[in-house]
């Protein structure tokens, strides 16, 4: 499986880019649209009709709104149709069984669950497409009249299935006209290789520890090993997701697009408020612009402010998955952010060491809540974290994982950023570094078991 995946990618990318660069400018978006649909269909061919319907419905909704300017009810109708279709599709595939199971549990009913597979990237491309229709409705941008350009935006393959969430306003000018310079190409290749190395060399390797502990059973591990395991998962999810984002941004640059930054060393944060300005930045921006501000933002009474925060963070949790652990994960951040808004952040800003410890410990706990959807397993694991269970098993795993822990810790901070910037313009250094990283990554992918990106599940 993994070999066929690698083989497909190493055929797809060179052929796609070769055709793309050789194609005249006015046909480049058509090449992107066709290549992106092939890319998506290779992973989810049976959901191709849903993707096609999404493109068509939202394209027509945008045109409808644009053509009925000044007729408020008709514009509202176009917006409502698009929102119902997008949210309805997302709800059916991602949340229908979750709500049915809860209804059955509460009312004793016997609604049968549907056998559904979550379409790849549905949470990401649904939010992207909704931002387009909303922005057209509020006249932040004109509707896209060229169907090819619009389709290319919706299914643009670099970030289609796991972000970053690219709003139409981020790339609408580049969809019309863009240039690709040698420097831009070089930057794109570097970012792609950095992202690939983050996933393959760091996330996968440090994540093996968490996988081993799950297979071993949390009842059979010591407290030190439990902490090592959840720290490993914390590194894994960061390098896995930030790695994909870097790959997407790099590929975007190689195609002439400037995708927004998605991560900014979140683990160096000194408050949860700061963490969410650094982690999955495009998702935070989306919720702020399309949910928090329309609810009134912070220009409301104090009770309403906390209500707005509650709604946003419940939605953020639910966006990540149809399970109560994700909802509680989101509400945990609501509580922490509410406490910080009430004045605790001023204390954190004055006490650097305490603030870093506060963030890291609570983040580690939050990732346990995020990773484990079975509450009996979650309870057992938390008991291992805080009700001391002695043992020497951690020594064996520490010997095996110490190096990757150090590497992950260093690269999750900007410690080496200055050194890299000093040497990156040296052509020999760049050739050795990036050529070596790419070769090692390919060797790892061919020789390892299948390990998809974690955020493919969301």
Secondary structure in 3-state letters for 265-299: CHHHCCCHHHHHHHCCHHHHHHHHHHHHCCCCCCC
DSSP one-letter code for 238: H
pTM for this prediction: 0.93
Averaged pLDDT, 303-307: 94
Tell me the H-state helices in 198-340: 204-216, 223-255, 272-278, 281-287, 302-320, 324-339
What DSSP designation does 138 have? T
Q: Pick from 178, 213, 230: which residue ends a domain?
A: 178
Q: Which of 26-35, 147-156, 276-285, 424-433 has the lowest mean pLDDT?
A: 424-433
Q: Which residue has the higher pLDDT, 89 or 456?
A: 89
| pLDDT at position 2 | 39
- Let me know: does 149 contact 55? Beta carbons within 8 Å: no
Assess whether pLDDT exceeds 80 at residue 447.
Answer: no
Query: Is pLDDT above 80 for 5?
Result: no
Q: Would you state the pLDDT for residue 416?
A: 87
| Predicted confidence (pLDDT) at residue 90 exceeds the cutoff of 60 | yes
pLDDT digits (tens, 9 = 90+) for 182-215: 889 999 999 999 999 999 999 999 999 999 999 9
The answer to whether the Cα torsion of 251, 254, 255, 256 is positive or negative is positive
Question: Are 211 and 452 within 8 A, CB to CB?
Answer: no
Q: What is the reported pLDDT for 451?
A: 65
Task: Give the model's confidence band at 452: pLDDT under 50 very low, under 70 low, under 90 confident, else very high.
Answer: low
Total of domains in the chain: 2
What is the reported pLDDT for 418?
81
Instruction: Tell me the percentage of the chain whose pLDDT exceeds 90.
Output: 71
Tell me if 242 is assigned to some domain. Answer: yes
Q: Are residues 167 and 81 in the same domain?
A: yes
Q: Which of 114, 280, 320, 356 is catalytic?
A: 320
pLDDT of residue 457: 61
Specify if 18 maps to a domain.
no
* Domain assignment present for 19: no
- Domain containing 92 equals 24-178
Between these two residues, 428 and 324, which has the higher pLDDT value?
Answer: 324
91 and 205 in a single domain? The answer is: no
User: In this structure, are 265 and 326 located in the same domain?
Assistant: yes
pLDDT score recorded for residue 376: 94
* pLDDT(121) > 90: no
Asked whether residue 393 is domain-assigned, the answer is yes
371 pLDDT tier (thresholds 50, 70, 90):
very high
241 & 384 share domain: yes
How far is residue 121 from each of residues 40, 46, 207, 324, 373, measured CA to CA in Å?
9, 14, 22, 21, 20
pLDDT given for residue 1 in this prediction: 38
pLDDT at 7 over 70: no
Percent helix / strand / coil, the chain, rounded to 5: 80, 0, 20
Q: What CA–CA distance (Å, rounded) separates 289 from 149? A: 24
Q: Look at residues 178, 194, 223 and tell me which one is the last residue of a structural domain.
A: 178
pLDDT for 114? 78
Q: What mean pLDDT value characterizes the chain? A: 90
Q: Tens digits of per-residue pLDDT, 215-226?
A: 999 999 999 999
- pLDDT at residue 9 in the model: 58
Question: Within this chain, do residues 270 and 419 fall inside the same structural domain, yes or no?
Answer: yes
Judge if 273 and 417 occupy the same domain: yes
Residue 394 forms part of a structural domain: yes
Asked whether residue 16 is domain-assigned, the answer is no
pLDDT at residue 384, as a whole number: 93
pLDDT value of position 430:
85
Rounded average pLDDT over 16-32: 92
Q: Which of 178, 204, 223 is the last residue of a domain?
A: 178
3-7, 106-110, 208-212, 313-317: least confident range: 3-7
Domain shared by 41 and 190, yes or no: no
Q: What is the pLDDT of residue 324?
A: 94
Residue 103 sits in the same domain as residue 250: no
- Do 150 and 163 fall within a single domain? yes
Average pLDDT over residues 89-99: 92
- With respect to residue 304, please indicate whether it lies within any of the assigned structural domains: yes
Is residue 351 part of the annotated active site? The answer reads no
Which pLDDT score, from 0 to 100, does residue 3 have? 38
Residues 413 and 304 in one domain: yes
- Asked whether the predicted pLDDT for residue 404 surpasses 50, the reply is yes
| pLDDT value at residue 109 | 86
Residue 9 falls within a domain, yes or no?
Answer: no
């Amino acid at each position: 499986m993994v070999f066929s995946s690698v083989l497909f990618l190493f055929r797809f990318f060179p052929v796609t880019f070769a055709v793309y660069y050789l194609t005249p400018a006015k046909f480049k978006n058509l090449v992107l649209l066709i290549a992106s649909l092939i890319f998506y269909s290779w992973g989810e061919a049976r959901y191709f009709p849903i993707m096609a319907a999404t493109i068509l419905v939202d394209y027509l909704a945008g045109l409808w709104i644009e053509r009925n300017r000044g007729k408020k009810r008709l514009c509202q109708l176009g917006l409502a149709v698009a929102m119902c279709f997008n949210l309805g599709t997302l709800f059916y595939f991602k949340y229908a069984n979750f709500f049915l199971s809860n209804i059955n549990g509460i009312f004793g009913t016997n609604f049968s669950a549907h056998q559904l597979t979550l379409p790849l990237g549905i949470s990401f491309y649904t939010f992207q497409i909704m931002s387009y229709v909303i922005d057209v409705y509020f006249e932040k941008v004109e509707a896209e009249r060229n169907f090819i350009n619009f389709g290319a935006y919706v299914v643009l393959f670099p970030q289609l299935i796991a972000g970053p969430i690219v709003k139409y306003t981020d790339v609408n000018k580049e969809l019309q006209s863009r240039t690709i310079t040698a420097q831009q190409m070089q930057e794109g290749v570097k970012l792609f290789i950095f992202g690939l190395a983050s996933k393959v060399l760091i996330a996968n390797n440090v994540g093996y520890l968490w996988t081993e502990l799950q297979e071993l059973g949390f009842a059979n591990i010591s407290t030190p090993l439990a902490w090592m395991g959840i720290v490993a998962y914390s590194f894994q999810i960061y390098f896995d997701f930030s790695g994909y984002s870097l790959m997407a941004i790099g590929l975007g640059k190689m195609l002439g697009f400037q995708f927004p930054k998605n991560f900014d060393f979140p683990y160096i944060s000194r408050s949860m408020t700061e963490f969410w300005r650094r982690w999955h930045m495009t998702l935070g921006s989306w919720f702020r612009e399309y949910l928090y501000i329309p609810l009134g933002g912070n220009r409301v009474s104090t009770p309403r402010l906390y209500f707005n925060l509650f709604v946003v963070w419940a939605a953020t949790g639910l966006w990540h998955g149809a399970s109560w652990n994700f909802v509680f994960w989101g509400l945990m951040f609501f509580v922490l952010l509410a406490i910080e808004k009430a004045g605790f952040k001023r204390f954190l800003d004055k006490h650097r060491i305490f603030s870093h410890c506060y963030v890291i410990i609570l983040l580690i706990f939050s990732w346990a809540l995020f990773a484990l959807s079975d509450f009996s397993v979650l309870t057992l694991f938390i008991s291992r974290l805080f009700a001391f269970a002695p043992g020497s098993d951690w020594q064996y795993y520490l010997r095996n994982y110490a190096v990757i822990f150090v590497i992950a810790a260093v690269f999750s901070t900007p410690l080496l950023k200055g050194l890299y910037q000093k040497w990156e313009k040296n052509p020999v250094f760049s050739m050795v570094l990036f050529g070596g990283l790419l070769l090692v990554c390919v060797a790892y992918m061919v020789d390892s078991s299948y390990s998809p990106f974690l955020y493919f599940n969301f």
